[in-house]
Amino acid sequence: MTSRLLRTGCSQADVRRQLRSAAHGRPLPRTPTTLRLEEHVRSRVLEPATRGTINVLRSCVRAGTVRRVVFTSSVSTLTAAETEGRRKAVLDESCLRSLDDVWRTKPVGWIYILSKRLTEEAAFRFARENGVHLVSLVLPTVAGPFLTPSVPTSIQLLLSPITGDPKLYAVLASVHARFGCVPLAHVQDACDAHVLLMEAPRAEGRYLCAAGGYSAAHLARLLASRYPPFRPGDRLSRDFDDDASCSPPVVSSRRLLDLGFRFRYGVEDVVKDSVAQCLAHGFLEQPEGQSTFRLSAV
């Protein structure tokens, strides 16, 4: 904890309590402690993240040989919510979430949301002012095969209904509440999209890369079909607030498709490959009577 925070009378315990509350999506009153928490987030998270990104872009300008920079953004910067509890019919890269709303409500993952939004805005502003060709790829939950020694957080997030991880389960429920579905992309498609945006002459602005999005009920059925020991029961639909009267939006990557991109993997492949890899690595226990799971063909 910084000396500046200590001088203002905000103890480590105060900040930790506030951060725990924010992480679980509890509304935070506008108390002096909350204001100090916000200042801490600005000075210790948001400003360093922005400076780091600008430093990279500044180095690109100095090098004089960089033709284009691809910024990796997140679907957490978007929302499908409209007024009066309704949802947008289509979710795409233009559906930006209000920064004021994030500061005010402090939803699950609010610090990450602010970091992505503010860093991206600063990057585009610097790029315009300094002649850098910057494009942004907006990614949803990315899953599928992995080479890392531990299971990537995004895959743990997708499989949290199976594992029961309380923190990641809460994040997944928050994603579902914001969109009415869980948007997904295969890791190979995410890599291919980065390459396309780096090379396509017409690439400009922001592009959402999502194979689609499933409601909680559909996702539960898909997880159960790939991992038979999983029995979702009623909890998933209750916690994820599946409202049959409020249809989920169409998750659209039309701008990316119009640029020439083609998805190689569907949402089913994302779940299938994630479960198969986690079984192979021992993150999930092998179901009785089933010894192998194959990855989707490239």
149-201 confidence digits (pLDDT tens):
999 999 999 999 999 999 999 999 999 999 999 999 999 999 999 999 999 99
Annotated catalytic residue within 106, 116, 167, 272: 116
pLDDT of 57 reads 98
pLDDT of 162 reads 93
Q: Please name which of 211, 215, 210 lies closest in space to residue 247, comparing C-alpha atoms.
A: 215
- Are 213 and 269 in contact by the 8 Å Cβ rule? The answer is no
Average pLDDT over residues 71-82: 95
Q: How far is CA 280 from CA 36, 83, 98, 273, 291, in A?
A: 45, 45, 41, 10, 10
Q: Which class would CATH give 66-280?
A: alpha beta
pLDDT of 238 reads 67
Name the residue type at position 204.
Answer: E
CA distance 92 to 98: 15
Could you read off the pLDDT of 240-286 as tens digits, one per residue? 765 555 678 999 999 999 999 999 999 999 999 999 999 999 999 98
**What is the reported pTM?**
0.84
pLDDT of 292 reads 47
Could you read off the pLDDT of 26-62 as tens digits, one per residue? 444 555 567 789 999 999 999 999 999 999 999 999 9
116 is catalytic: yes
The set of residues, in sequence order, having a beta carbon less than 8 Å from that of 165 and lying 6+ positions away, is 156
Could you read off the pLDDT of 200-234 as tens digits, one per residue? 999 999 999 999 999 888 898 999 999 999 988 65
